[in-house]
Amino acid sequence: MGGRARGVRRGGVGRHLIVEMYECDPLALDSVEAVKTALLDAAVASNSTVIGYEFYRFKPHGISGYVLIAESHISIHTWPELGYAAVDVFTCGEHTDPWKGLDMLKERFKARKMTILEIVRGIGAEDYVGYWSPAGALTGARAVR
Amino acid sequence: MGGRARGVRRGGVGRHLIVEMYECDPLALDSVEAVKTALLDAAVASNSTVIGYEFYRFKPHGISGYVLIAESHISIHTWPELGYAAVDVFTCGEHTDPWKGLDMLKERFKARKMTILEIVRGIGAEDYVGYWSPAGALTGARAVR
C-alpha cells in the first residue's frame, strides 16, 4: 500500500457526508453480508481504495461496521427495528466522490428518506506553520513541544 | 458480546462529535502506538465497550484508524505535516459521554485549537412504523419490499 490520497488544498482535506437513512429495508440492515457488500461497493463507487474493514452483528439485531479506505472511511450503524441507519462517507482527494458512494448505499438499503449533511474537513489545516520533516525527524527545540 | 447499547428515545439514538484538531503534536499524530492507545483510552473514558479496531500508517506519514465500539465508533485520520487530525467520536446510549472521550484525545494529541460539531444522530427514527420482528422474520407481504 503506497501513500495516502491527500489533495491538501485551500478548502479542506476532504468531504464528509453525515447521512441519516430512514425507512430502509430492515432485512438489508440486518444482514452482515448485505451491509458489508454495500459498503465495499460504495468504496469502489466513490473511487476509493479499501485498506480494511470490519462488521459486527449485534444480538438480537443491528449491525455496526466500517470500511477503512486510503481516503478516510465509510461507516454504518443500523437499527433494523427502526428502519434506520447512521451512515458516514468521508473521502479525501480530488479523485474521489463520496456522493457516488452514497448513491450506492441508498440503493442497496432502499432508503425512502434521507437527510444529508456535507462537511468539508480540515479547513485551514494548510495554514499550519509548525515544524515537520517528512523523514520523521523534527528540527531543533520544537521537536519537544 | 451481548446486545447493543441502544437508548432509543425521542431526540435520537446517539451523539456524534465531529472534531477538527489543529496544531497538534505532530509526533503523536504519526505514531501508530500513540494514536491507537489514545483512541482505545478514549473509548474507555467515554464509557464505551470496544469491539474491534484497526490502525494503518501511510507512507511517508499519516495514520488512519478506527475503534468499533458497541455504542458506534471513534475514528481518526491524521496529517502530521499539517498538525491536523480529523476525529469522530460517535456514541450511543445514555451511559456514554463522547465529550469525555474527546477530552482524552485532546490531551494526548496536545491540540491547541479545535472546532467541534455535535450532531444528534437518528432524530425521528423512533417514529418508524414499518414491520419488524425481533426474531428476524418479517410478517406477510411486507417481507418483500
pLDDT at A102: 98
Residue B137 has pLDDT above 50, yes or no: no
Pick among 3.30.830.10, 3.40.50.1450, 3.60.90.10, 3.40.309.10: CATH of B21-115: 3.60.90.10
B89-124 pLDDT tens trace:
999 999 999 999 999 999 999 999 999 999 999 999
What type of residue sits at position B78?
A: T
**Contact flag A13-B86 (C-beta cutoff 8 Å):** yes
The DSSP code for A138 is P
B27-69 pLDDT tens trace:
999 999 999 999 999 999 999 999 999 999 999 999 999 999 9
pLDDT at B91: 97
A24: annotated active-site residue: no
Q: Min CA distance, B113 vs chain A (Å)?
A: 11
A61: annotated active-site residue: no
For chain A, where are the E strands, in sequence order?
14-22, 50-57, 63-69, 72-79, 84-92, 113-121
**Contact flag A134-B4 (C-beta cutoff 8 Å):** no
Residue A83: which of B3, B80, B130 has the nearest Cβ?
B130
In angstroms, the CA B87 to CA A54 distance is: 19
Q: Is A31 left (phi over 0), alpha (psi -120 to 50) or beta?
A: beta
Asked whether the CA dihedral B79, B85, B91, B97 is positive or negative, the reply is: positive
pLDDT at B4: 60
pLDDT at A14: 96
pLDDT at A44: 98
Give me A136's grid cell.
Answer: 520523521
pLDDT at B130: 79
Domain-wise residue ranges, chain B: 21-115
B62-93 pLDDT tens trace:
999 999 999 999 999 999 999 999 999 999 99
pLDDT at B2: 44
Closest C-alpha to A12, from B17, B120, B77, B106: B77
Chain CA centroid to CA A29, Å = 18
Q: pLDDT (tens digit, 0 to 9) for every residue of chain A, 145 residues total?
A: 345 655 445 589 999 999 999 999 999 999 999 999 999 999 999 999 999 999 999 999 999 999 999 999 999 999 999 999 999 999 999 999 999 999 999 999 999 999 999 999 999 998 888 777 655 444 443 433 3
pLDDT at A134: 58
**Contact flag A122-B1 (C-beta cutoff 8 Å):** no
In angstroms, the CA B46 to CA B4 distance is: 16
In angstroms, the CA A132 to CA B82 distance is: 8
A72: annotated active-site residue: yes
Cβ pair B74, B101 in contact under 8 A: yes
pLDDT at B135: 52
pLDDT at B1: 39
